[in-house]
Amino acid sequence: MSTPLTFIDFYKADHRSQYPKGTTTVFSNWTPRKSRIDDIDSVVFFGLQYFVKEYLIRRWNRDFFEQPKADVVNRYARRMRNAGINIEVDHIEDLHDLGYLPVEIRALPEGSEVPIGVPMFVLWNTVPEFFWITNYLETSLSSIIWGPSTSATIARKYRRILDHWVEATGGDPDFVDWQGHDFSYRGMYGSEAAMLSGGGHLLSFTGTDTVPAIDFLEDFYGADSDRELVGGSVPATEHSVMCMGTKENETETFHRLITELYPSGIVSIVSDTWDYWKVWTDYLPELREEILGRDGVVTIRPDSGDPVKILVGDPDAPEGSPEHKGSYELAWEVFGGTINDKGFKVLDPHINLIYGDSITPERCEAICAGVAAKGFVPKNVFGIGSYTYQHNTRDTFGFAMKATAGVVDGELREIFKDPATDDGTKRSARGLLAVSVNDAGELELEEQTTWGRVHNCAFEPVFVDGELVRDETLSEIRARLQGA
């Protein structure tokens, strides 16, 4: 059985003896220090409640405090000893005897957009002899929380792009909830990463194919899919389905899907298994009346090529060719639509598009701008995959947990680092930290403050001595983010 005692980097194990004698408090913070994504200067805070419930409470209780002391202590001692880390374990025995994690965490509300350089939360030990536990938690805490916050921030970027273009072209603002669809599960680094990232995605959208993300939000964030739309999807094909129907009978496969299996509602059909352009010039015109007669939407899914050229058109292709026209023009030629009050073409509601291959925020922007330039409302769905959500690290937003203050022999010591060889990213804040809201409604860091300010600022208690003291719901977090 694993134990949260070993959810550490090895060097954490003996920091207890390295702190000055007389140390009784270590005060730390969690802060995004730098953005490596253009035009993002604030980060969505998300994931702490999961870490508290799953790790600080369930795993610490189940796998440490509720286990026989000798078993967990001996297991820990063996792991350290066999790795060459020879330390005493009296402090581990004392922690087990205490029976709970003596830590307090105060945090901003989840779903807050937090400026770069402003702490999302602070934490410290509540029992003097366990000063070492604060930063002992850094490794596991960091490994869990940077991911969902990063994905939630990038999803927010997509949301702002799509909100802008629906406003600019007079589209349906309610559809944007579905326009960003999470396709990332299979490309994520394990199922926990997928559900954490998928939960972050669902703060800004409702479209997802990552089923565990919905379970995650129900289990840890008070969501209830019986009473609210947590996340949803539609029936959709994959290439194996289309291939099994054979190339010669692809039209029949389309016909069976839209008339027999899904005579109503939404169905998404991957359409580039062989010749995507032939689907538009031959198959869909043949099926036009069946599609227009359905009570629902047939969504065509290209899955290869340059996303911008496939949807908007390739200006370098022969004029008049399907490639030159692109998917929107072809859809308009076959199915038509309407002109809205802003003068933009809106595809007939029985037909739509979804593209989920190698989508990025930059491509999303280019597609929306290109579609609008051709006079259409950009209503296609974007399948947002691991190309977006997995190609990130803790350094994407410079997340770090660092100690900034401590108490030694009853004296508060302000601690900080400012490496001369660094560009300023790793310079830490100094002393006790608080966060305030300025007259413009923006969050601001207060350094070198007092315990009174720490307890009376924008931070709220979340975890105190083994107990969760603030339990936020998905609906509250969504509302907070959407109101930002």
Do residues 156 and 44 lie in contact, with contact meaning Cβ atoms separated by under 8 Å?
yes
Count other Cβ atoms within 10 Å, centred on residue 77. Answer: 16
pLDDT in tens, 102-145: 999 999 999 999 999 999 999 999 999 999 999 999 999 999 99
Q: How far is CA 116 from each of CA 146, 282, 400, rounded to the nearest angstrom?
A: 14, 52, 12
Q: How far apart are CA 153 and CA 269, in angstroms?
A: 30
Q: What is the pLDDT of residue 2?
A: 78
pLDDT tier for residue 37 given thresholds of 50, 70 and 90: very high
pLDDT at residue 424 greater than cutoff 80: no
Q: How many CB atoms lie within 10 A of CB 308?
A: 20
Contact in structure between 155 and 40 (CB atoms under 8 Å): no
Interval 401-424 mean pLDDT = 91
% of residues, the chain, pLDDT over 70: 100
pLDDT tier at 1, thresholds 50, 70, 90? low
pLDDT in tens, 64-105: 999 999 999 999 999 999 999 989 999 999 999 999 999 999
The whole-angstrom separation of Cα 418 and Cα 424 is 7
Show the tokens assigned to 459.
């931070």
Between CA 74 and CA 92 the distance in angstroms is 10
- Helices 138-169 + 191-201 axis angle, to 10: 40
- 56-61: long-range contacts (C-beta < 8 A, 24 or more apart)? 56/101, 56/103, 56/137, 56/463, 56/466, 57/466, 57/467, 57/468, 59/4, 60/4, 60/101, 60/466, 61/466
Between CA 323 and CA 313 the distance in angstroms is 6
Per-residue pLDDT at 342: 98
120 vs 416, residue with greater confidence: 120
CB–CB of 253/239 below 8 Å?
A: no
Angle in degrees, 0-180, between the axes of helices 69-82 and 90-98, rounded to the nearest 10: 150
Examine the pLDDT at 427 and tell me if it is beyond 90. Answer: no
Classify each residue of 35-59 as buried b or exposed e, where b means 16 or more C-beta atoms within 10 Å of its C-beta. beeeebebbbbbbbbbbbbbbbbeb
User: DSSP 3-state assignment of 281?
Assistant: helix
DSSP element (H, E) containing 123: strand 121-125
The residue with tokens 């989920």 is 356
For residue 396, give the DSSP letter: G
Which whole number is the average pLDDT over 273-287?
96
Q: What average pLDDT does the segment 159-182 reach? A: 98
Q: What phi, psi does 30 have (nearest 5°)?
A: -120, 120
What does the DSSP assignment read for 2-63?
--GGGSS-GGGTTHHHHSPTTEEEEEEEEEE----STT--EEE---HHHHIIIIIIIIHIII
| Rounded Cα–Cα distance for residues 81 and 94 (Å) | 19
pLDDT in tens, 198-218: 999 999 999 999 999 999 999
Please list, residue by residue across 395-420, b when 16 or more beta carbons sit within 10 angstroms of its beta carbon and e when fewer do: ebbbbbbbbbbbbeeeeeeeeeeeee
